Amino acid sequence: METQPSDDRAPQPPIGATRQSRRLPRGVWFAIALAIVVLAIAAFQATGSSSSTSSSRDQTDVIDPGLSDPTDSVNPLLPTAGKLIGTQAPDTHIIGFDGSPLTLSDFAGTPLVVNFWAYNCGPCRSEMPDLEKVHQEFGDRVTFLGVDTAESIDLGRPFAQETGVTYELASDPQGKMAAAFEATGLPTTVLIKADGTIVRIRNAGAVTADQLQGWIEQDLLS
C-alpha cells in the first residue's frame, strides 16, 4: 500500500469564515462615519468664522469727514462714531503717566492726535513706532496723546517703554474716554483740530506713518 504524502500546511478555514473575520463590526463603521460628519461640520464652521472676521476687518475703516454721511465708510454695526465728526471733542478726565490729572482741554490751541491702545493689543504694538515717527516729524506743530485704555498704568508703562514712544501718555483705567469717542476696538486714532473739533476717526484699526502723515497735513494743517 502506498503511503500518501503528508501535508504540513496549516488547515485553512472555510471561505465563509475568512470573509467574516475581515468584516468590521457595524458599530465601528458607525463611529467612523460619525467622526467624519463631526470633522466636516467643524471645518465648515471654521471657514465661515474666518470669512466673517475678514469681512468685518475690511468694513472697519477710516471715518472720512468728506462723505455726506461719514458712517458710510465704517462697519455698519458701529454707526454712531461717524456722528462725532464735526463735533467738539468730549472733555473727559484721564490720568497722566506721571500721575497728574488731565483733560483734553489741557491741549487746546494745538492740533491733537489721540491714540487709544492697550498693552495686550498686537496692532497697537505694531503701529506705535509709526506714530512716534510722525510725532518726531511734526514736532511742536501737532500734539500726540497716547491713552492706555481700560487697564492700570502698571501694565501700560512697560509696554510703552518697549515701543520707545516719547509723546504724552495717559491712562483711562475705566475706558470712559474711549467710550466717549465711540472707540469700540483698539487701536483707535482720533484727529482733533486746534479748536477742539473732531475731524477724523480711525476706529479699531492700525495706521501707518504715511497714512497718518497724510491725514495730519490734510485735516489738521491745511
Sequence-distant (≥ 6) Cβ neighbours of residue 172 within 8 angstroms = 92, 94, 95, 116, 147, 148, 149, 150, 178
Which segment of 37-51, 112-126, 145-159 scores lowest on mean pLDDT?
37-51
- Residues 65-117: pLDDT tens digits? 443 333 333 333 344 567 999 999 999 999 999 999 999 999 999 999 999 99
Cα 180 to Cα 35, 70, 90, 215: the distances in Å are 49, 18, 7, 22
Query: The C-alpha cell of 101 is what?
Result: 490729572
For residues 26-31, give the mean pLDDT: 53
Reported confidence tier of residue 52, pLDDT bands at 50, 70, 90:
very low
Q: How far apart are CA 103 and CA 92, in angstroms?
A: 6
| Cα distances (Å, whole numbers) of residue 136 to 19, 141, 143, 165, 188 | 81, 10, 10, 10, 20
CA angle centred on 58, ends 165 and 184, rounded to 5°: 55
Of residues 104 and 42, more confidence is placed in 104
Phi, psi (deg, nearest 5) at residue 63: -85, 105
What residue segments make up the domains of the chain, in order of their start? Answer: 15-56, 62-220
- Written as nine digits, the cell of 54 is 475678514
The CATH H-level (homologous superfamily) assignment of domain 62-220 is Glutaredoxin (3.40.30.10)
pTM score of the predicted model: 0.67
Residues 95 and 171 sit within 8 Å (Cβ to Cβ): yes
Alpha-carbon dihedral 74, 75, 77, 79, rounded to 10 degrees = 0
Average pLDDT (10-36) is 51
Query: Predicted confidence band at 32 (pLDDT cuts at 50, 70, 90)?
Result: low
